[in-house]
Amino acid sequence: MTRASDTQGGRVALSKDGLPGWLDPVVHAVETVRPRQLSRFLPPEDGAGRQSAVLVLFGEGTHGPELLLMERASSLRSHAGQPSFPGGALDPEDGDPYGDGPLRAALREAEEETGLDPSGVQLFGVLPRLYIPVSGFVVTPVLGWWREPTPVGVVDPNETARVFTVPVVDLTDPANRATTVHPSGHQGPAFLVESALVWGFTAGIIDRLLHFAGWERPWDREKQVPLDWRA
């Protein structure tokens, strides 16, 4: 079992021991999904891009399984104002980018951004690395089970506007689903939940996890939400 109370220096490992049964489909999806089943944007073959990680954290709330999200501050240079998973670029102290560095970075960034206690998080899986062309980040999605939840909230208003959880039942509700249309013409999945429009990279990961875990419900893909020029 992962107990990563020290996210810098100590070994951080993955463990599936003792996970709740409802996470079994997610574990199976993580073990079997291929990179191109997640996104057409894969890391450049020449190794370019800044290594980063996000924490896809599943907890159990009053409405059942839920995901932890945050809304990035509107003043940030990259992905300003967007709901996202906690995460960010790897620091040298996080260690090997192709080893346990992304695991440590995901926990460290989540602690810095939301105040959660990493010692209550059990990491159980890693999705293939993906690429965000607009920012040049190579992102490793790290999946965790919030075994021992702790209070979370905005740590630094300059980085984070708010921290919130979204019940999975709301994410699978067809009424909360739509397709975003970027001014560039790019289209992608979106979720209208918790007074937020979740789109872009984060929505793509959620969409694929719901699909491959078998949790997806039929929804109207013709329902479109335009993104303004600032997006």
Q: How far is CA 29 from CA 24, 69, 135, 174, 208, in A?
A: 9, 21, 27, 21, 9
Residues of the chain above pLDDT 70, percent: 90
Closest-CA residue to 132 (of 199, 58, 34, 223) = 199
Enumerate domains of the chain plus CATH numbers: 21-167 (3.90.79.10)
For the chain, counts of helices (H) and of strands (E): 5, 12
158 or 67, which is more confident: 67
pTM: 0.91
Longest dimension (CA), the chain: 48
d(Cα 130, Cα 103) in Å, to the nearest integer?
15
d(Cα 86, Cα 90) in Å, to the nearest integer?
13
H runs (alpha helix) in the chain: 24-32, 35-38, 101-114, 168-171, 200-212
Instruction: Kindly tell me the sign of the dihedral angle through the C-alpha atoms of 31, 131, 192, 190.
Output: negative
Indicate if the pLDDT at residue 79 is higher than 80.
no
Indicate if the pLDDT at residue 52 is higher than 70.
yes
Q: Is 228 exposed, middle or buried (0-12, 13-18, 19+ CB in 10 A)?
A: exposed
pLDDT single digits (tens) 3-40: 343 445 556 899 999 999 999 999 999 999 999 999 99
Across the chain, the runs of DSSP E, i.e. the strands, are 50-61, 64-72, 83-84, 87-89, 121-126, 130-132, 137-146, 160-167, 177-181, 187-193, 196-198, 224-226
Indicate if the pLDDT at residue 200 is higher than 60.
yes
Closest-CA residue to 94 (of 56, 58, 51) = 51
Decide if 70 contacts 83 (C-beta within 8 A): yes
48 or 118, which is more confident: 118
pLDDT single digits (tens) 56-74: 999 999 999 999 999 987 6
